[in-house]
Amino acid sequence: MAIRNLLFDLGGVVVDIRRRNCVEAFERLGLPDADAHFGEYAQTGIFMALEDGSASVDEFHAALRQEFPNPEDISDAQIDDAFQKFIIGIPEERLRALVELRKRYRIYLLSNTNPIMWDGVLAREFDKLPPRRRADYFDGMVTSFEACAAKPDAAIFRYAERELGIRPEETLFFDDSQANVDAARALGFHAELVPPGTEFTDVLKSFEAARK
């Protein structure tokens, strides 16, 4: 069956990220054992609660602030700024690639993310090639905090099927986590890993060539 849809993860696929930047930013603020909060592909504790929608932004701020030795000195803005250091940015050539691919495929987004980044640094990054906005690059978008589920949980993939109106057998999913790729394949999606230092455009070319 022909591939009609391309389903993209954000971090590590479309967006360049560096976990260490975020850890160091929280260490400078004085967060004890900041490194323990952040996995390579998923967060833990209150950070994951923000990502899977089980905690609001206000609840996240309040809970995280209590982990600091000086909570009264830590503002919401400082927390948000440190958290968003996770994102390096989106190379403009990837934005242009999405525009080109949309001429041949329906383009969708499926991301483990949170409202702080979604409404902050990510919105700004997609807006840097005027007059485009994030919604101009995708035919539909699913975020973990809105779906109340996070990859690799099957629930978020099923949510994406319903909300985006896509069929797994017609959809190619890109992610930088093998666990997420395996979860998608188990549900009938075509799925490809985008390793560090690899462009999704090259992975797509290899996939297309193998199907000829």
Q: Is the pLDDT of residue 132 over 90?
A: no
Q: Do 9 and 74 sit in the same domain of this protein?
A: no
The domain containing residue 32 runs over which residues? Answer: 19-86
| Domain stop point among 86, 116, 140 | 86
Q: What is the pTM of this model?
A: 0.94
Q: Do 96 and 51 sit in the same domain of this protein?
A: no
159-187 pLDDT per residue, tens: 999 999 999 999 999 999 999 999 999 99
| Domain stop point among 66, 86, 106 | 86
Given the residues 9, 52, 175, 176, the one annotated as active site: 9
The pLDDT value given to residue 36: 87
Return the residue matching tokens 């890993």: 193
Phi and psi torsions of 26, nearest 5°: -70, -35
Q: Do 187 and 105 sit in the same domain of this protein?
A: yes
Residues 105, 69 contacting (CB under 8 angstroms):
no
Q: Do 71 and 93 sit in the same domain of this protein?
A: no
Here the tokens at position 185 are 């394949």
Helix 76-83 and helix 57-65: axis angle, to 10°? 100
Q: How many domains does the chain have?
A: 2
71-118 pLDDT per residue, tens: 999 999 999 999 999 999 999 999 999 999 999 999 999 999 999 999
pLDDT range class, residue 212, cuts 50, 70, 90: confident
Q: Do 205 and 137 sit in the same domain of this protein?
A: yes
Here the tokens at position 195 are 């390793």
**Domain CATH code at residue 25:** 1.10.150.240
Distance of CA 67 to the CA centre of its chain: 25
For the chain, give the mean pLDDT. 95
The pLDDT value given to residue 169: 98
Counting beta carbons within 10 angstroms of the beta carbon of residue 47, is it exposed (0 to 12), middle (13 to 18) or buried (19 or more)?
A: buried
Q: Is the pLDDT of residue 203 over 90?
A: yes
Q: Do 117 and 144 sit in the same domain of this protein?
A: yes
**Domain CATH code at residue 181:** 3.40.50.1000
The pLDDT value given to residue 37: 84
9 carries an active-site annotation: yes
The pLDDT value given to residue 44: 79
The pLDDT value given to residue 123: 95
Rounded CA gap, 59 and 63, in Å? 6
- For residue 152, whether the previous peptide bond is cis, meaning omega lies within 30 degrees of 0, is yes
pLDDT range class, residue 130, cuts 50, 70, 90: confident
The pLDDT value given to residue 38: 80
CB atoms within 10 A of CB 14: 23
Q: Is the pLDDT of residue 39 over 80?
A: no
Q: Do 71 and 143 sit in the same domain of this protein?
A: no
Q: Do 77 and 138 sit in the same domain of this protein?
A: no
Residues 171, 4 contacting (CB under 8 angstroms):
yes
Residue 149's identity, in one-letter code, is A
- Which residue has better confidence, 194 or 1? 194
Q: Do 115 and 180 sit in the same domain of this protein?
A: yes
pLDDT range class, residue 40, cuts 50, 70, 90: low
Contacts of 207 (CB under 8 A, 6+ apart): 172, 190, 192
Q: Do 39 and 99 sit in the same domain of this protein?
A: no
* DSSP count for the chain of H helices, then E strands: 12, 7
- Average confidence (pLDDT) over 139-154: 98
Here the tokens at position 76 are 């919401």
Q: 44-48, 149-153, 175-179: which has the minimum mean pLDDT? A: 44-48
Here the tokens at position 62 are 């309040």
| Domain stop point among 65, 86, 107 | 86
Residue 83's identity, in one-letter code, is F
Q: Do 36 and 68 sit in the same domain of this protein?
A: yes
Q: Do 112 and 168 sit in the same domain of this protein?
A: yes
